[in-house]
Structure 1
Amino acid sequence: MILRSPDLAFYPVVIIAAALMIGVPLAIKSADIIGVEDDIRANGITISGERLQFLAAGQGVSFEFLRDADNRFFARVTGEVTRGSPTLTPSAGVFDALRPYELAAISGSDVRVTYTLQPSAANGAARTDLGFFEEGLGQSSWRAQTLEPGLNSYTIDVDIPYCDPSYGFAGVWPSAENEANSIDLYEIRIEMTADADCTELPG
């Protein structure tokens, strides 16, 4: 998927693209949505298992949806070009686009995002960038993370600037150094931590 510059133009375009790529019907009645939102507020959002096949990928990064020897689904994410290269259009890397009811549930709250991943057995990355994006959270929101051997969880805390976001992306971008450029992503978990010191979106 080719994403076009400038950075500010990326997010509206990718909302449409991610929706097309996800292609999952969300036929949930209003009463059911309320129940789902309450559950999210209590238990958070877990992105794992078969949902990983609906991740989206920006320019310079790609993924495969696979199953390991223990029958667990994961996404093998490959950084083909190091993030920030001037040849790339800025993006959220390989990312999950939150569903509207998930956004509604976490709106107005700061969040903690936990990524469970490991360096791939072949060409495993030594580092990866982790990011959570909404309006007001652009490319400077990426966090660099050095990886330990084996499957581990890595956490970022995010202060949310706007109370009523129209999109939310949780993404990863492995480093692409000497072909050591691949990670296996098993889960992304998003939890609310506190009421955000946020404002309404302008306009």
Structure 2
Amino acid sequence: MSALAPSLRTAGHPVLVTHEPGATPIGRQIRKLLLETDAPIAPRSEALLFAADRAHHVSTVIRPALERGEVVITDRFVDSSLAYQGAGRTLSVDEVAKLSRWATEGLVPHLTVLLDVPVTVGLARAGNRAGGLGLDRLERETLVFHERVREGFQKLAAAEPQRYLVLDATLPQAELATTIEAAVTRMLSYQRSAGPPKSAEPPETRRRVT
């Protein structure tokens, strides 16, 4: 997604590219607790740690950027918690949604891009990205866990087709980039006069962005 930033800036849009977890100094400490450990973490504790990172991220990075009129592109947001901690850990998706809604003060993305890929392919790619560093704690989870996560994302996308762009991530990167850029450009043209995302009540299935 960060490849979008140069073209958006060329088009006159100020852009902030960020990620979760770990985009802030405090977030990096939380990320270590969550992902750079072999110690087991209770599912509810895991959900709370992700929410803590997100609350600080939204408060100190995302909302200030939106208030400056910037376009924010973030790698993972609330929907990741709904898929991973909700579906993956078999916690109540509604309860995780309430926690995330409180942490973000109801901030909802205009567009969420889901790059959908078979679990085995995704894990192989993650291993290649990691190089000799190895997979993180969540990436080392079972195939069954990752299948639940994928199904969770697919259900979220089906519940909110107006917000989701679901793409087959086995397609060539250049083709995916062109499709995403077109969708983001189109979305920005509609939202130009609307300002930053408003607080919103997530749908029942919730729900789960960018």
TM-score by length of 2: 0.29
TM-score by length of 1: 0.30
Q: Which has the higher strand share?
A: 1
Q: Which has the higher helix share?
A: 2
